[in-house]
Amino acid sequence: MEIEEMKIKGEQFLELEFKEMPVFWERKMSELIKDKVILDLKNAKKALEFFGDRTVYYVYNLWRGIERYKKIKDEYKLNFDVTLLKFGLFSLTKDGETFLTYGHKHEKNRGEFYTVLKNECYLLLSDLNKKKSIIVEMKEGTSVLIHPRFIHRLISTGKDCLVLGIVPEDAGHDYNIVKNKGFPHHVFMQNGWLKIVENKKYEGFSIEKVSAKKLSLPIKKLSQILMYPNKYKKFYKI
């Protein structure tokens, strides 16, 4: 899915240029440490003190500034957001927990659609009732429909990653569900390899790894799938 109003610059480290500048916000390392949504707090605090308060990711609200997405919001009640997740580690060395988004669950029974516009990353889904986590390997051009039963977050894997998210405007974000706990599983870089680490604050969670696929849906159909996930559950493959 191409965003005509946005130009992507760079390969490993990304920058964005917009014809119409949307409203955006950024999440700093200090916020993720303060709310204890990462696992390795000890080394994260050392990195914060040494490097300063780095930006971990930016979120651009396309529906707040770009006319085309304002119209889509008015007609289909969908918010289009672009997340630029930076690559980095919560560490002073080449080993450590990788950068990630805060993570959340929807307050209402609404789905969400993610598609990678540039590079690649992980999408972590955790079903707290079934005690099951899924690491979705998302490559450029692949997409995932996220069922509302999952708490979910993006995790960087080696390069800056650009992800488009589409969600009903009334879905809401429950951040408290992960505050002071994090997720059942976290990802670390170790000797140049990505390693999945269990969070001891959760018990008995299984983990599996899958790959995202390419998925294209008309906006009208997508809006129905996201608004009524139980009715259209056959579309939610994960």
**Residue-range domain boundaries for the chain:** 17-233
Give the pLDDT confidence score for residue 1 in this predicted structure.
76
Closest CA to 188 of 113, 93, 114: 93
Q: Give CA angle at 191 (189, 192), nearest 5°.
A: 65
Give the pLDDT confidence score for residue 172 in this predicted structure.
98
Give the pLDDT confidence score for residue 2 in this predicted structure.
83
> Per residue in 186-215, pLDDT tens?
999 999 999 999 999 999 999 999 999 999
Does residue 112 have a pLDDT over 80?
yes
Contact between 63 and 70 under an 8 Å Cβ cutoff? The reply is yes
Q: Which CATH superfamily does the domain covering 17-233 fall into?
A: Jelly Rolls (2.60.120.10)
**Mean pLDDT along residues 110-125:** 99
**Mean pLDDT along residues 159-167:** 99
Average pLDDT, the chain: 97
Alpha helices of the chain — where are they, by DSSP H? Answer: 29-34, 41-51, 67-76, 219-227
DSSP annotation string for 18-49 = ESSPPEEEEEEHHHHHHTT-SS-HHHHHHHHH
Q: Give CA angle at 116 (111, 118), nearest 5°.
A: 160
> Per residue in 25-70, pLDDT tens?
999 999 999 999 999 999 999 999 999 999 999 999 999 999 999 9
Written as six digits, the tokens of 59 are 């979120």
* Dist CA 141 CA 82 (whole Å): 14
> Per residue in 146-159, pLDDT tens?
999 999 999 999 99
**Mean pLDDT along residues 68-79:** 97
**Strand spans (E) along the chain:** 6-9, 15-18, 23-28, 55-61, 78-85, 96-97, 112-118, 121-127, 132-138, 143-146, 151-156, 161-168, 185-190, 193-198, 206-211
User: Residue 83: pLDDT band by 50, 70, 90 thresholds?
Assistant: very high
Gyration radius of the chain over CA positions: 17
User: Residue 238: pLDDT band by 50, 70, 90 thresholds?
Assistant: confident
Percent of the chain, pLDDT > 70? 100
